[in-house]
Amino acid sequence: MLIHHEDYEKEMPDEMYHLDGAIFRYCSFKNMILEGGGIDAIIISCEFNNLDWYWGIFNGCLFIDTIFNNCTFRGVGFPGCRFLNCKLNCCKFKPDNFGQECDFGDNTILFDTELIELSGFPDTVKIVNSNILSRLG
């Protein structure tokens, strides 16, 4: 399913939690607080602003030209994801209530991605040709 030029603010419609294999293009996600759920999608030229997600999963997602601004991920998984020409700006990667850190797995890769003032971003993620401006502990 192709979803394009949609703006989501504060709430994600329930049906969006079950869109395996969807393609999001030119969408924005703003001021959302999410708990649980997962996304298995291709995400192209989208923006995530002020997203707070607890215990969710981006499962094998392909992010292209996508921007994450001021997002907080608490115990979120990113296994098998690819980030190509993306920007992560002022994002926080925190443990969930059980102390489980965000998990990027062994095969998540960031290509040509700009990382700016990230907090809690693990050193184990494979980063290729990316600009790391500041990585905070």
For 39-96, how does the pLDDT look when each residue is reduced to its tens digit (9 = 90+)? Answer: 899 999 999 999 999 999 999 999 999 999 999 999 999 999 999 999 999 999 999 9
What's the whole-model pTM score? 0.92
Q: What is the mean pLDDT of the chain?
A: 91
- d(CA 60, CA 97) in angstroms, rounded, equals 24
Q: 32 with 9: CB under 8 angstroms?
A: yes
- Residue 97: the pLDDT is 95
Give how far Cα 82 sits from Cα of 11, 54, 98, Å: 25, 21, 27
* Residue 35 or residue 71, greater confidence: 71
